[in-house]
Amino acid sequence: NSNTPELLKNVLVTGGAGYIGSHVIYTLLRTHKYKVISIDNYHNSFPAALTRVSSLALSELKESSPEPSAQDIDSTVIDVHECDLINPTAVRSIFSSYASKGGIWGVIHIAAYKAVGESSEIPLTYYANNVAATISLLQIMQEFHCTRLIYSSSATVYGVPPDIPIKEETRREGDSVYGRTKVMCELIIEDFCDSIMNDGETNPFQAISLRYFNPAGAHPSGYIGEHPRGRPENLLPLLAHMAVGTVTDPVLKVFGNDYPTADGTCVRDYLHILDLAAGHVIALQALEEGSELNAKVFAGSTSSNGKFKAYNLGKGHGMSVMQIVDAMRKATGHDYKTEVIGRRRGDVPELIADPALARAELGFDAPRDLETMCRDLWNWQVKNPTGYE
């Protein structure tokens, strides 16, 4: 009858315990439409993140509906697998364990190494972990007739973009090993969508590539947040650790102020991690064959067989390094000292999204402002100075 709830769709998230993965999983759990499966090798993340995500979703569920259904409660339980994506046997056994439970409906592939600087030092590790693992995942998805993929891509696929703000049809050109791994994976996924292997499938393979600009912030509860292993490389988490004292550098080293920007430092398009996560849920809904959203997203799809579409996830305005330092000075009360040193290899002057396509076709928006990002980041860091440990 009408009020029997739809069965939960099994959705696999690779890199589920990471900063992006944990916030994406939190947002998936709160829809109560999915049974979320996490694969992570904890190379740059902590299993505790998933325990917190699940208990946060359960407590919010109980707040919002005092008598939650058994299925809604079950949808806040994550199936957690410690597994290396480059191990096809392990990944295959996970897929087969769901074959009798309706199979894996879709995959959100987030797991990757992402340090631009490091990637030029150990390129083979990056190509193995980011590219070879993606090929292996696609092969296994094909074996198990899993035909829906959301790929975690990055604005770095644009290299030094010819125009700002950046539209999705801009040519791709990775300017670092890391950036090239993202370009290669998009091309591999596109070619797979176009391959004849999709013929005869009840559902042709459909992929949406989400090109993240700079995600920042944390869930406002401060219960989950960003906790990379070792020293944080990215600007905002580094500033948060400096303010809370877990990084004792006396100054923030600014990697160059001789860029062609207003104050000479690099400009990036920062968006709140929960807005980014919400974009993944919309993209997942767009993979539902027969839905209006699916028809709109893939209407212009050129490929003859499967379908591929890329979207920028950004706010459409940029902030310079110095503006970020100012925003964190206000949020944390910490009086940062800065020292300008040489440029960092692989950095580009400006990356600002043209957010029009995702807004028009997915109805995606990133309303949370920089002050909110800094406040939520600081709230997480103050409550968890040493992260999940």
Q: How many residues at the interface with ligand WQD, by CB under 6 A? A: 18
Under rule CB under 6 A, residue 113 binds ligand WQD: no
DSSP state of 196: G
Under rule CB under 6 A, residue 156 binds ligand WQD: yes
Q: Which of residues 333-372 bind ligand WQD (CB under 6 A)?
A: 344, 347
Helices in 158-310 by DSSP H: which ranges? 177-194, 235-244, 273-286, 292-297
Q: 111 vs 281, which CB is nearer to ligand WQD?
A: 111
Candidate list 253, 330, 337, 383; residue touching ligand WQD; CB under 6 A: 253
Under rule CB under 6 A, residue 129 binds ligand WQD: no
Candidate list 185, 208, 254, 370; residue touching ligand WQD; CB under 6 A: 254
Q: Are 353 and 166 in contact (CB under 8 A)?
A: yes
Burial class from Cβ neighbours inside 10 Å (0-12, 13-18, 19+) for residue 36 reads: buried
Under rule CB under 6 A, residue 238 binds ligand WQD: yes
Under rule CB under 6 A, residue 23 binds ligand WQD: no
Q: Are 348 and 175 in contact (CB under 8 A)?
A: yes
Under rule CB under 6 A, residue 234 binds ligand WQD: yes
Span of 195-203, 249-257, 308-316, 352-360 interacting with ligand WQD by CB under 6 A: 249-257
Q: 240 vs 286, which CB is nearer to ligand WQD?
A: 240
Span of 82-90, 251-259, 310-318, 379-387 interacting with ligand WQD by CB under 6 A: 251-259
Q: Which amino acid is at 260?
A: P
Q: Which amino acid is at 340?
A: V
Span of 35-43, 64-72, 247-255, 305-313 interacting with ligand WQD by CB under 6 A: 247-255
Radius of gyration in angstroms for the set of CA atoms belonging to the chain, rounded to a whole number:
20
Span of 45-53, 94-102, 141-149, 248-256 interacting with ligand WQD by CB under 6 A: 248-256
Under rule CB under 6 A, residue 126 binds ligand WQD: no
* Set 98, 126, 151, 178: catalytic member: 178
Separation of CA 291 from chain center: 24
Under rule CB under 6 A, residue 214 binds ligand WQD: yes
Question: Rounded to 5 degrees, what angle do the CA atoms 356, 110, 84 make?
Answer: 170
Phi, psi of 327 (to 5 degrees): -65, -40
x/- letters, 135..154, toward ligand WQD (CB under 6 A): -------------------x
Categorise residue 131: left if φ over 0, alpha if ψ from -120 to 50, beta otherwise.
alpha
**Taking the complex as a whole, how short is the minimal distance between the CB of residue 192 and ligand WQD, in angstroms?**
22
Report which of 302, 342, 12, 331 is spatially closest to residue 144, judged by C-alpha positions.
Answer: 12
The dihedral over CA atoms of 111, 112, 113, 115, expressed in degrees to the nearest 10, equals: -100
Candidate list 233, 289, 326, 365; residue touching ligand WQD; CB under 6 A: 233
178 among known catalytic residues: yes
Under rule CB under 6 A, residue 329 binds ligand WQD: no
**Taking the complex as a whole, how short is the minimal distance between the CB of residue 255 and ligand WQD, in angstroms?**
4
**Taking the complex as a whole, how short is the minimal distance between the CB of residue 20 and ligand WQD, in angstroms?**
8
Under rule CB under 6 A, residue 266 binds ligand WQD: yes
Separation of CA 42 from chain center: 16
Q: Which residues in the chain belong to E strands, given as ranges?
A: 9-14, 34-40, 79-82, 106-109, 148-154, 206-212, 214-216, 252-255, 267-268, 270-272, 307-313, 319-320, 338-341, 350-351
Active site members: 178
Binding residues for ligand WQD, rule: CB under 6 A, are 114, 116, 154, 156, 212, 214, 233-235, 238, 253-255, 266, 268, 321, 344, 347
